[in-house]
Each structure stands twice: as structure tokens, then as C-alpha cells.
Copies of this chain bind each other. A is one copy, B any other.
Amino acid sequence: MRNVVLFKDALGADKFLLGGKGYGLVEMTSLGLPVPPGFTITTDVCKAYYANGGKVPEGLFGEVRAKVAEVEEQTGKTFGGEEKPLLFSVRSGAPFSMPGMMDTILNLGLNDVTAKRMAEITKNERFAYDSYRRLIQMFGKIAMGADAGSFEKVLEARRKAAGAKMDIDLSPQELRGVADEFKRIIKEETGKEFPQDPYVQLEMAVVAVLGSWNNERAKEYRKFYSIPDDLGTAVNIQTMVFGNFGENSGSGVGFTRNPSTGEKKLFGEYLPNSQGEDVVAGIRTPVGIDGMHPALKGRLQDVANRLEAHFKDMQDFEFTVEDGKLYTLQTRNGKRTAQAAVKVAVDMAKEGLITPSESVARVEPEQLEALLHRRLDPSSKDRPVAKGLDASPGAASGMVVFDTEEAASLGGSQKVILVRPETTPEDIKGLIASQGVLTMRGGMTSHAAVVARGMGKPAVVGCSEIEISMEGGFFKTKSGERITKGETITIDGTTGSVYKGEVKMVDPEPTPELTSLLQTADGVKRLGVWANADTPEAAVKAREFGAEGIGLCRTERMFNDPKRLPIVRDMIMSLDAEARKRHLYRLFPFQLSDFRGIFAAMGGKPVVVRLLDLPLHEFLPSVEELLLDIQEMKERGASKEELEGTEAMLNRVRQLSEHNPMIGHRGCRLAITYPEIYEMQAKAILQAAVELDREKKERAKVKIMLPLVSSVEEFKILRKVVESAAAAAFKELGTEVEYQVGTMIETPRAALTAGEIAEHSDFFSFGTNDLTQTTFGFSRDDVEAKFIPKYLEMGIFQRSPFDSVDTVGVGRLVKLAVQEGRKSNPGLEVGICGEHGGDPKSIAFFDEAGLDYVSCSAFRVPVARLAAAHAALSEKTKAVTA
């Protein structure tokens, strides 16, 4: 266990020990960047603190004192000393960045004596007392538990009395008075004095930061990002430098590239005469890189170059200018939009900074979702009612909510846009539940912007064209619009625009960088990525997104078309096989042209057509609808014939209705009792293939799939049905084409008997939606609403098994079926076509399980391609380290 390490002595230790901030400080120190000296209390201490029931390890503060002494030596200043007072910041820093979630206290070491002394030395009384009041305010709130609002009220009253707009406009005397009042508040609220002893301050601050690892918002944040609760935070104690020293001072944030677009151009914001937290809090709007002094800009560019050359990734760094001298206070891999992530990765590979494989690993598949978010329809005529900063791209509509708690509670069931004067770390819950965020104040690096980008949610920030009345429950725009709570607005984080009402959106199109990254990914991945598509249009879309085949073409959707539904109903109403057949063949031309279109669109790539799966009664109106119809008919004196027809329908619906339709008479079971349905479908599929073949258009790669098999006998019987239909069609048409017949594995029994089934089946496709339903005994339509949220809340599930495949139960069946299926049929092709096919974690599992391909909705194909590449990379890593 290493407890306390100096920045200059810790090179080689990792983020898990030092936390991200500590690690950055150590690395920057070693690069020779201007880092104010200091030391890190490691995460081991935090772990020991919690293991110990909230007590710091014995001897810790002795070690701290020893390190303070070393820093005193490095700086030539003394902590609590009157000659050259040394002040410290105390900051949290976890292994994974949790911006603003934990606590920070600045200016430690000031007390009544040293504050006065600082004023004398710096000849800047305003600065000294501004620093002091900041310490008391932060310390009071964080280390002593006083109410933050009480401090704000004092400041507000002072500003009012002085006619000052900002805190900065208060006079030194007023600031000293503020400091006194703050001390009084602490005494009143906590019963204790603000400690004058710097070491007491330091120790209390350390304990407060350790405690902030487990505050509510930090826990919330970790849950959202699946950060383990037992990593702990480090505590960084660093010599203070002062951005609030005067107009020649300031603090800022730099990004080595643009975090929103990824453009290779230094990006930054700078707030003169401020301390770091002022920039992040977004209370004053800072100046951009182009507003800075060219000398500062040059020095920042130099820092940026050295950081990227070292870290080989885009860096987000904090800096402070004290009386003209630049200090770097923090660096970390910069959070970025999905678009920026893709561009930075592709550009860095081009620049030779990283390898192509590394560029693939640099973008999280989940992030691509944001790129594949819908955007505003360019042809829309809607005009924005306000404009702000384009802080996080993408568009979203939702109802206006001003309160973060309200957003959190409404957001589960409705689409909401969180609208706030500015956001603070306390708003994290509301942000998670919202479609997007709109703030009045704050820059591109304000809390709202950073968090929204991280989550891939649209954000418009610093929108000074709106004015929020929290009490009134509305906001007004410069143009005079008044929008009340509950009204719908649309925000476009790509342009910074705000619209009234819901604006039409369009499907996304991949950028050139994305296309390039995905091509690299394709070269890395082993798994095929196919798409689920039921129509020729969807097939075209699937190819555009890079699908290598169609893994699931559902034929029942073709039956639901309004032109076809009446025929389907006639078929269902038929009481004998002959009549049923007659109506079925009225559907034949429709099916034929569907399949022609899909095969043509796929240009010879494989297409897996699933024969009818749904229970027949799903095509019929409900009992309640029909009862109402009959009542209405009776009232208007409808003809006997009409009435009887509807009554017959009602009877048939009742006859076909089931207690548990999901596990009832559907899928291949339907075809065992009504084989003519599959017969017709098989004919239509193969005739389409023959016709295309003759027209020399495409040689379709046809795979006919039988759903919901639970016994090899079902499969054998229906394979024969398909084969005789095929033989009949080929004879009639005078041409044969190749085709395969395979099965979905979507019941546990199919998986458990996969060895037998594979002897007769050309391919398997896991239907993990149904397999999850049957393996758990979960009716998705019921459980997702009724208890899965509770299960997630209680930690029974980390994620819903419908979102990410349950590797333990369902996954075990998948692996078993792959193994035993391949054993009895080595040529067996195996894929998955449930919704899990587009989930990166699930894809990693399917890769490991040895599947040949995953199939997902067209829009998730890019995510799946990248995830498949990640899976292949991680397999390689495993192979190397094994």
C-alpha cells in the first residue's frame, strides 16, 4: 500500500492508484510542464477509509505532514507561515473521470492571520479576502456541512447594497466583511468555529473529499456509467496558484482538439481574474481561444503539442495564469462528442500518432449511437426562437421541465428537455432522464456541456437569448415568445438552435470519417454484421450502413399491409384447408414482389427469410373492437348479413384467442397445423429467386428459416413441406436455384437439442428475444413495465436482459447450442437476430461464443461493426496475455 506520493516521485504508478487527476499531474511534471508542486493521497487510502467504516488509516496525517514539508522545501514557502504563506488546493480524482461529482476545496492555509499577511505581500487586499471568503465558503459547505444557500444570500445582499453586478465588483472591505459573516454562519449553523489551524483545515478537507466518493450524485453518476463502487478516489494536494490575482491572471480550460467536432485546432476558454471553478460552473461566460492574448495562445499551443505527443490522445487540460505566468493544473483524455471521437481517432491514425487498430479501439461503439441519432430535417421550414452555443450535437424534442427532480421522475415515461439557468453537478439525475438540455448560462466547457457530450445527448448552452422565470414556470425569448412548463420544444445541439414545438427529423447519414473508421473496423473484426430488414427499402438502407446480409426478414410484417390484411383475414376465417389455400394464393403475388425487391436490393448477399411466426389472431381485430362494432351495427340497423359476418369474425377471434399467446400456437406450430402457409411462402421466395436468376440480375442467396422450433421432429416435417413446395415451384418454372433451410434457436429446448436439430438444419439463428423470454420465463410485454425497473433499482439486474444478453443463463444455452450444433454439423452457419445483435456488450459475448454473424436493425449496423472489431481486438489481447 502506497499512501502518499509526491507528483515528482510517482512516475510509473497508474490511474487506479493515483486517480486520473493525480496521474495527469505526475505525467505532466515528468514532461517538465509548469505544474505547481504537490502530492497525491492514493486510492488505497480511500479504500482503507471505507473498509475502516469511515476512518483514515493510522499515520496518514503524519505522512501528509512530511510531504507538506517537502513541498515547502520545493517552493520555499511555508504552509500557515506568515513570511511566505503556502496555500493548497485539495481535489478529488478518481480512476475514471467524474467531472464535478466530488468535492474540491481551494485556498487552504488561509486564516485571519495569513489572509491579512497575503494582502500585505501581494498588495492586493481584494484578492486576499476574495480568496479567504472562497475558502470559508467552500470549506463551510463541504467540510463542515453548512448550507450553501446561506452564503449565497450574504453575497447577494452585499452585491445589492453595494450596487455591484458580480462578486468581483465588491470592494476589499466588503469582501472582508463577507468573510466575517461567513465565519459567523458556520458557527451558527454547525456550532463550530471555522478552524484557524491550517493543518486542521487540511485534514478536514482530506476527510471531506474522501467522503464525497459516496455522495448521492457521485453514486448516481457511477451507476449510469457502470463505474465500480469500490475503486475509490485519490486526493490531490497541490500548491495554489491564483487566477484571481487580478486582470493579468485568470483560469481556463484547453482541449488539444475541438471536443465537439474533433477538428485539429486548439480549443479553449479563459476567464480572466477567476479561479478554476468559475469556468466550470458557467456563471460568467468565458472568452474563446481567439479572444486570448496571442502570447498565452502560443504557450497553450505548446502545452497542447507536448501533451498530445506524450499521451497520444486528445487532452482536456486546466490551466491558471497567475500574474502572467502559466501553470498547468490538470490533464486528462478529453471527453468528446461521438463525431469528435470518430474524427480524432481517424485523424490521429492518419497522423501516425496511433495505429489503425488503435483508432478503432478509441471509439466506444455505444458512442456511435449519438451519430446515428436523428437530426433536424434540412427541408423543415421551422425557424428557431433562440440561439445558444452548440455544445453537444444532435436534435431532440421534449416537453419543457425546469426542475431537475421533476425531469428525473417524468423522464422515465415521457420525453423531456431540461431547461436550467445553468447546471450544477446536482442536476446529473435530471440530465440522465432528459432527451437534452438547454441552459441560459455557461460555455462549451460548462458542466451541462461536458456531461451532455459524454452522454451523447443534445445540448444548447449559454443561450442568453432566453430568460427563465423559475417561479413563473416559463421562459421568454428575445423575440418575445413565452414558453411554459409542459410545452414541447426542440433543441438542435449541432447548431445551437431552439425551436417551439416538435420539428420534423430525418435519419442520420454517416460522415466520411465514420465511413473510414468503420472500414478499418471491418478489417479488424471476425464477426459478420447483418441487418434485420423486412422491406426492399429497409434492405437498401441496411446495405448503406454496411450490412453484409439480411439476418432476419420477417414475413408477417408483409401480411400487415392494409391492402393485404383483408385477404389475410379471409384466409383466417376459412374453415378448411382448401379455402385457406385459395385465399393464401391471393397473397402470393404480394409476397413474390416483396421477395424480388429484397433479393434485388441485397445483390447476391445472403437473405434469411423467416416464415410466418405470429399467431393468426394477431391479424384479427380484438374482441372488444368487434363487440363495439356489433353494438354499433345493431343501433344503426345493419343488414343481417353484415351482422352475421362480424359475429362470425368474433367467434373465430374468440376461438383463436389464447391465454399466453407468446408461448402459444405460433411459429412452426402454426405450420404443423396449417402447412399450406409455409408452402405458399416457400414457393413465393423461390420463385422470386428463380426470376431474378433468369433475368441475370442477381443470384440470390436464399436461406429459409423456421421459427420457434422446440423439437427436431417439427423441423424435419416442415423442412419436407418447404422442400416439396420448392420442388413443385422448380418443376413449374423449369429452373432450380440453391437454397438453405435452417431454424431459429429461440426456445431452451431447441438449444438443448441443438445437436439433433443441426443434423437436419443448414443454419441456426439465435432469436435471443424469445430465448430470453423463455429462459427467464419473462413475458417481455409484461415484465418490462411491471418489474424490470424495480429489478434494476434493486441491483438484481445490472442491465435488462432484453437490452444486453444474459451471458450466464441465455448465454450458456447459446454456447452449448453452438458447440453441439457444430459438432454434429461442422458446416453449420450460426448467427443471432434478436435485438441483442446491436448491443456492444452482447456482441462481445457472441464473438467469444464463436458465432458467424450478428444481425441487428439497420441503424445499429455501424455500432455493431465497431463493437465486433472491439470484440476481435479484446480477443487478441486475451490471446496475447494468456
Interface window among A142-150, A312-320, A658-666: A658-666
Residues on B with beta carbons closer than 8 Å to the beta carbon of A809: 710, 748-749, 752-753
A240 to chain B, nearest CB (A): 47
Interface window among A212-220, A251-259, A773-781: A773-781
Residues on B with beta carbons closer than 8 Å to the beta carbon of A664: 779, 782-783, 786
The reply on A577 being an interface residue by CB < 8 A is no
Q: Are B662 and A796 in contact (CB under 8 A)?
A: no
The complex places the Cα of A502 from the Cα of B666 at a distance, in Å, of: 39
Task: Say which residue of B749, B775, B776, B781 sits within 8 Å of A776 (CB atoms).
Answer: B749
Question: Quick one: which of A746, A786, A790, A797 has the most chain B CB within 10 A?
Answer: A786
Q: Are B775 and A660 in contact (CB under 8 A)?
A: no
Minimal Cβ-Cβ distance residue in B for A658: B782
The complex places the Cα of A794 from the Cα of B813 at a distance, in Å, of: 28
The reply on A125 being an interface residue by CB < 8 A is no
The complex places the Cα of A787 from the Cα of B664 at a distance, in Å, of: 9
Taken residue by residue from 690 to 727, chain A's Cβ proximity to chain B (1 for < 8 Å, 0 otherwise) reads as 00000000000000000010110110010000000000
Q: Are A752 and B717 in contact (CB under 8 A)?
A: no
Residues on B with beta carbons closer than 8 Å to the beta carbon of A796: 672, 711, 713-714, 717
Task: Say which residue of B770, B778, B795 sits within 8 Å of A777 (CB atoms).
Answer: B770
Q: Are B753 and A813 in contact (CB under 8 A)?
A: no
Q: Are B770 and A747 in contact (CB under 8 A)?
A: no
- Give the contacts of A745-796 with B (CB-CB under 8 A): 746-749, 752-753, 770, 773-779, 781-783, 786-787, 790-791, 794-796
Residues on B with beta carbons closer than 8 Å to the beta carbon of A746: 777
User: Known: A664-B782, A672-B796. Is A808-B753 also a contact (CB below 8 A)?
Assistant: yes
Question: Quick one: which of A661, A747, A749, A770 has the most chain B CB within 10 A?
Answer: A749
Q: Are B665 and A783 in contact (CB under 8 A)?
A: yes
Taken residue by residue from 791 to 821, chain A's Cβ proximity to chain B (1 for < 8 Å, 0 otherwise) reads as 1001111000000001011101100000000
How many copies of this chain are found per oligomer? 2
User: Known: A774-B777, A777-B710, A783-B665. Is A794-B747 also a contact (CB below 8 A)?
Assistant: no
The reply on A669 being an interface residue by CB < 8 A is yes
The reply on A673 being an interface residue by CB < 8 A is yes
Q: Are B673 and A790 in contact (CB under 8 A)?
A: yes
User: Known: A713-B795, A783-B669. Is A775-B790 also a contact (CB below 8 A)?
Assistant: no
User: Known: A665-B787, A775-B747. Is A660-B781 also a contact (CB below 8 A)?
Assistant: yes
Residues on B with beta carbons closer than 8 Å to the beta carbon of A776: 710-711, 747, 749
Residues on B with beta carbons closer than 8 Å to the beta carbon of A669: 783, 786-787
Q: What range describes how many residues of A lie at the interface?
A: 35 or more
The complex places the Cα of A778 from the Cα of B714 at a distance, in Å, of: 14
Q: Are B777 and A663 in contact (CB under 8 A)?
A: yes
A542 to chain B, nearest CB (A): 28
Residues on B with beta carbons closer than 8 Å to the beta carbon of A770: 777
Q: Are A779 and B663 in contact (CB under 8 A)?
A: yes
Residues on B with beta carbons closer than 8 Å to the beta carbon of A708: 777
The complex places the Cα of A787 from the Cα of B711 at a distance, in Å, of: 14
Q: Are B659 and A794 in contact (CB under 8 A)?
A: no
A356 to chain B, nearest CB (A): 40
- Give the contacts of A826-840 with B (CB-CB under 8 A): none
Task: Say which residue of B665, B774, B779 sits within 8 Å of A659 (CB atoms).
Answer: B779
Q: Are A782 and B661 in contact (CB under 8 A)?
A: yes
The complex places the Cα of A729 from the Cα of B669 at a distance, in Å, of: 51
Residues on B with beta carbons closer than 8 Å to the beta carbon of A672: 787, 790-791, 794, 796
Residues on B with beta carbons closer than 8 Å to the beta carbon of A713: 794-797
The complex places the Cα of A787 from the Cα of B796 at a distance, in Å, of: 37
The complex places the Cα of A661 from the Cα of B662 at a distance, in Å, of: 10
Minimal Cβ-Cβ distance residue in B for A662: B660
The complex places the Cα of A77 from the Cα of B54 at a distance, in Å, of: 112
The complex places the Cα of A770 from the Cα of B810 at a distance, in Å, of: 17
- Give the contacts of A625-667 with B (CB-CB under 8 A): 658-665
The complex places the Cα of A240 from the Cα of B117 at a distance, in Å, of: 137
Residues on B with beta carbons closer than 8 Å to the beta carbon of A748: 748, 774-775, 777, 809, 813
The complex places the Cα of A752 from the Cα of B774 at a distance, in Å, of: 13
A706 to chain B, nearest CB (A): 14
The complex places the Cα of A873 from the Cα of B795 at a distance, in Å, of: 49
Q: Are A717 and B794 in contact (CB under 8 A)?
A: yes
Q: Are A663 and B662 in contact (CB under 8 A)?
A: yes
A717 to chain B, nearest CB (A): 7
Residues on B with beta carbons closer than 8 Å to the beta carbon of A714: 796
The complex places the Cα of A566 from the Cα of B794 at a distance, in Å, of: 32
Residues on B with beta carbons closer than 8 Å to the beta carbon of A659: 660-662, 779, 781-782
The complex places the Cα of A787 from the Cα of B673 at a distance, in Å, of: 7
Q: Are A710 and B661 in contact (CB under 8 A)?
A: no
Q: Are B778 and A710 in contact (CB under 8 A)?
A: yes
The complex places the Cα of A748 from the Cα of B782 at a distance, in Å, of: 19
Residues on B with beta carbons closer than 8 Å to the beta carbon of A806: 749
Task: Say which residue of B782, B795, B810 sits within 8 Å of A660 (CB atoms).
Answer: B782
A785 to chain B, nearest CB (A): 9
A788 to chain B, nearest CB (A): 10
Residues on B with beta carbons closer than 8 Å to the beta carbon of A794: 672, 713, 717
The complex places the Cα of A776 from the Cα of B778 at a distance, in Å, of: 14
The complex places the Cα of A661 from the Cα of B813 at a distance, in Å, of: 24
Listed in ascending order, the chain A residues whose CB lies under 8 Å from chain B are 658-665, 669, 672-673, 708, 710-711, 713-714, 717, 746-749, 752-753, 770, 773-779, 781-783, 786-787, 790-791, 794-797, 806, 808-810, 812-813
- Listed from nearest, the 3 A-B pairs whose CB atoms lie closest are A660-B779, A749-B809, A664-B782
- In the assembled complex, 12 residue pairs joining A and B whose CB atoms fall closer than 8 Å, in A order, are A659-B661, A659-B779, A659-B781, A662-B779, A665-B787, A669-B787, A672-B794, A673-B786, A710-B775, A711-B797, A713-B795, A749-B809
Not counting A672-B790, A711-B797, a sample of 5 additional A-B residue pairs whose C-beta atoms are within 8 angstroms of each other reads A659-B782, A660-B663, A663-B782, A748-B748, A749-B806
